[in-house]
């Protein structure tokens, strides 16, 4: 199977130029069932791959993105593209997810707005965007569509599923739902369930969007979009992705383009200007309905609601699990990761845990850090070598 890499540069550790592929699944026959009881058909999926698939298909790593991510995890779409994929520092030749060794797949999540079917997609029954007629989804539904994509690609086992934040939830979902297909999972800066505080953050973000005068009950695709509401939602969320220390070191109380206070309701401080820019940029490129749906899917995630369910769900899990957290992440602080580790240890699962020091808060999982990079590389390479030894022991070619 060829990757979607058009050209590469091993000297720089980049996968080079890449293209996003599209495939339509569930176009014929039965639709995909959803946890809500609804179903969906057809479903378009956007995905990218990097590296080459081994003959034994023993080198596949599935990368799961966070709330606002997409399929473009590494490389560039154009030579003049100044922005690389969202995890480019971790995917490529010689990087933790080494494309000289591994075949990497990343798809845009169900409900997304970057090529995979979501509220902004066309409903075949009306030939209009779904809007709020798109069915509500769960983390389980997102993993189910990823499984269907891998089936379409002829891939039936993965060496590892990896993701940060919401991507960590999806990685955990894979280990629970498809234990026979997953050798390992990296659950990074994530949580086994959202706290009341995090649900509250999401609720306020959704209110900011739905109260925007341009929201129009989600039917805004032919007119003005609720960019102001989405911008406010993103500004608030962005604060939670950063640490107080990181914000202080970057901005402090520095004024923006002025020497004195304006004594007016203007943007006085540099941190205000930064957040306004982040919100405005996001409000123009992301779909507001997708933000509603994905935050709601995160709210619903709770794979271990009671001891009986926890025991039943974990009983078949045999994947090697690596839980990782960051000491300044207060959105999904280390206590949430340790809670997950306690649950897994209680049920005698093969789990390891590491906390990393970083000044960057929740966003740390996206940023370069030598110790963090080395830990990922050690984990996936160990999985790979174990798999190779197993194949060799039964006489298959390696």
> Which positions are catalytic?
165, 329, 362
Helix (H, G, I), strand (E, B) or coil at 153: coil
| Residue 375 in tokens | 């830990």
- Whats the size of the chain, residue-wise? 398
**CA distance readout (Å), 220 to 67, 129, 202, 224:** 21, 9, 21, 6
| Residue 190 in tokens | 């994530």
- CB neighbours of residue 311 within 10 Å: 12
Closest by Cα among 50, 39, 68, 27 to 282: 68
| Residue 381 in tokens | 């390479």
| Residue 76 in tokens | 């560039």
């Amino acid at each position: 199977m060829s990757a979607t890499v058009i050209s590469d540069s091993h000297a720089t550790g980049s996968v080079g130029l890449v293209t996003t592929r599209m495939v339509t699944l569930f176009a014929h026959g039965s639709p995909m069932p959803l946890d809500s009881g609804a179903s969906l058909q057809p479903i378009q999926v956007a995905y990218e791959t990097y590296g080459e698939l081994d003959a034994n298909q023993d080198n596949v790593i599935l990368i799961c993105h966070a709330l606002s991510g997409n399929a473009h995890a590494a490389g560039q779409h154009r030579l003049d593209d100044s922005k690389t994929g969202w995890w480019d520092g971790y995917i490529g030749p010689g990087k933790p997810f080494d494309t000289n060794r591994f075949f990497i797949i990343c798809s845009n999540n169900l409900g997304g707005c970057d090529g995979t079917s979501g509220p902004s997609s066309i409903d075949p029954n009306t030939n209009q965007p779904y809007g709020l007629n798109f069915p509500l989804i769960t983390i389980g539904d997102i993993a189910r569509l990823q499984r269907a994509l891998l089936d379409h690609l002829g891939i039936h086992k993965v060496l590892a599923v990896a993701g940060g934040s919401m991507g960590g939830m999806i990685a955990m979902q894979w280990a629970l739902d498809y234990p026979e297909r997953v050798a390992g999972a990296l659950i990074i800066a994530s949580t086994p369930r959202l706290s009341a505080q995090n649900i509250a953050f999401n609720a306020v973000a959704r209110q900011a969007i739905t109260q925007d005068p341009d929201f129009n009950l989600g039917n805004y695709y032919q007119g003005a979009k609720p960019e102001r509401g989405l911008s406010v939602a993103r500004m608030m969320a962005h604060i939670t992705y950063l640490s107080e220390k990181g914000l202080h070191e970057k901005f402090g109380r520095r004024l923006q383009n002025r020497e004195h206070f304006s004594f007016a309701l203007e943007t006085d401080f540099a941190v205000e200007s930064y957040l306004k820019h982040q919100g405005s940029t996001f409000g123009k490129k992301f779909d507001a309905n997708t933000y509603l749906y994905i935050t709601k899917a995160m709210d619903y995630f709770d794979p271990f609601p009671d001891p009986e369910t926890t025991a039943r769900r974990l009983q078949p899990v045999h994947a090697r699990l690596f839980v990782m957290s960051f000491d300044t992440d207060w959105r999904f602080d280390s206590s949430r990761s340790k809670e997950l580790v306690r649950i897994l240890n209680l049920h005698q699962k093969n789990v390891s845990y590491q906390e990393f020091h970083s000044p960057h808060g929740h966003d740390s999982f996206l940023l370069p850090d030598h110790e963090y990079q080395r830990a990922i590389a050690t984990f996936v390479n160990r999985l790979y070598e174990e798999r190779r030894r197993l194949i060799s022991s039964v006489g298959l070619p390696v």
